[in-house]
């Protein structure tokens, strides 16, 4: 009970700090020239301050140090404190990279290098890494060698960090989707009783909600790379940490938590490969672009994607509650097949890869036609 009150206070403190800090960040962004000018790829039509992620990060860090003296003895072990320090240290590096990019527009290579450095700090500096892996239809979690776990963890952190960055295209989109994912991890960590992840998620969620007051359409500030990179980094770390205490968990669960940004990133890679364009070349084919082209308003598009992200989150929570059942692997397999089918149908309907190619829909139409013809004979 006392711990629950502490989490609630931490959330409230972080939310209030974000509400107070963000207006100052807006002024700072204009003062130092960290602004976003409209162009043919962007939805906004006026100059907007970015750097908003600094408000989220500032609220998150300050809230932690505000409630730290009130954390009961024994609530956090050495390993738990190590996890918190890893996120704070790595997150600080990511925020610095994001701030520099929001002001000076760094090259993709420099940003990638900074992300790798931050990931290495978490993995090599604090020893936080994926060291257990659940093989589908296996009997238990299997330990993996360091030469596999270290690069795998770095790849996971860098990949998720960039996935959040790619969906940051509409007011409140990346912040809201990240908030839903953080809330999902919080619920799952609460079920597992994993105190450090509950605490970190509560603080981070408070900062995101407070920032959304200024970022939801019509936005007064963008989170910029400072925010999208930090939230992606935090999600990558938390989604990995949330399952270290579980004896049997499916590999698909963390993928479901961040299903929207990961699937959008996957389709972006496929789209650019099909159209013979560089993988890192920006375009207007992301999920939010496609929904806008279908005629949905700015706000409705964001709310639709929120609903999709919530669906993924619910699937992740359900998946985490059945992992210890005898039929868990088969249920996981069926869930994956259904989600892949739905994602492919949805991608073809909105044209997220190629508006002229609908292989699965065409196949289903031919199948239905043949079925009807066979019945009429």
Binding residues for Mg(2+): 165, 225
**Rounded CA separation 245/248 (Å):** 9
DSSP alpha helix (H) spans, the chain: 2-32, 53-67, 78-104, 108-120, 126, 146-166, 173-192, 195-215, 224-241, 252-257, 259-274, 287-293, 298-322, 328-350, 359-376
- Cα–Cα distances (Å) from 329 to 86, 263, 326, 335, 339, in that order, read 32, 22, 8, 10, 15
**Tokens linked to 300:** 């409705």
Coil, strand or helix: which one is 221? coil
* Cβ atoms 9, 67 nearer than 8 A: yes
Counting beta carbons within 10 angstroms of the beta carbon of residue 223, is it exposed (0 to 12), middle (13 to 18) or buried (19 or more)?
A: buried
The whole-angstrom separation of Cα 371 and Cα 88 is 59
* CB-CB neighbours of 189 under 10 Å: 23
Report the candidate in 123, 157, 298, 319 with the shortest Cα–Cα distance to residue 234. 157
**Tokens 């589908």 sit at which residue?**
136
Residues 267, 270, 273: CA angle, nearest 5 degrees = 150
- Known binding site: residues? 165, 225
């Amino acid at each position: 009970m006392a711990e629950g009150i502490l989490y609630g206070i931490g959330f409230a403190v972080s939310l209030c700090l974000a509400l107070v800090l963000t207006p100052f960040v807006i002024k700072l962004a204009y003062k130092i020239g960290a602004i976003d000018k409209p162009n043919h790829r962007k939805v906004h039509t006026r100059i907007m301050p970015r750097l908003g992620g600094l408000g989220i990060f500032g609220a998150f860090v300050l809230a932690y140090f505000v409630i730290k003296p009130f954390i009961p003895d024994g609530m956090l072990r050495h390993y738990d404190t190590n996890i918190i320090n890893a996120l704070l240290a790595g997150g600080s590096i990511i925020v610095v990279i994001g701030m520099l990019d929001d002001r000076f527009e760094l090259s993709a290579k420099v940003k990638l290098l900074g992300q790798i450095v931050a990931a290495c700090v978490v993995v090599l500096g604090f020893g936080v890494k994926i060291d257990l892996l659940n093989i589908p239809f296996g009997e238990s979690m299997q330990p993996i060698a360091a030469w596999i776990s270290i690069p795998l963890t770095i790849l996971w952190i860098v990949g998720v960090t960039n996935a959040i960055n790619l969906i940051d295209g509409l007011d409140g989109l990346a912040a809201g989707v990240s908030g839903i994912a953080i809330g999902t991890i919080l619920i799952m960590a609460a079920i597992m009783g994993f105190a450090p992840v509950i605490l970190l998620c509560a603080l981070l969620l408070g900062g995101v909600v407070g920032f959304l007051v200024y970022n939801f359409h019509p936005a007064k500030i963008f989170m910029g790379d400072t925010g999208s990179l930090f939230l992606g980094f935090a999600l990558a770390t938390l989604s990995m940490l949330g399952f270290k205490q579980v004896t049997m968990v499916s590999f698909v669960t963390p993928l479901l938590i961040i299903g929207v940004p990961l699937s959008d990133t996957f389709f972006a890679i496929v789209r650019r490969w099909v159209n013979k364009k560089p993988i890192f070349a920006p375009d207007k084919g992301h999920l939010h672009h496609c929904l806008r082209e279908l005629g949905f308003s700015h706000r409705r598009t964001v709310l639709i994607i929120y609903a999709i992200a919530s669906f993924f989150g619910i699937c992740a929570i359900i998946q985490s509650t059945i992992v210890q059942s005898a039929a868990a692997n088969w249920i996981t397999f069926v869930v994956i097949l259904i989600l892949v089918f739905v994602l492919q149908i949805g991608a073809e309907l909105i044209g997220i890869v190629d508006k002229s190619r609908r292989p699965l829909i065409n196949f289903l139409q031919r199948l239905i036609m043949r079925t009807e013809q066979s019945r009429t004979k």
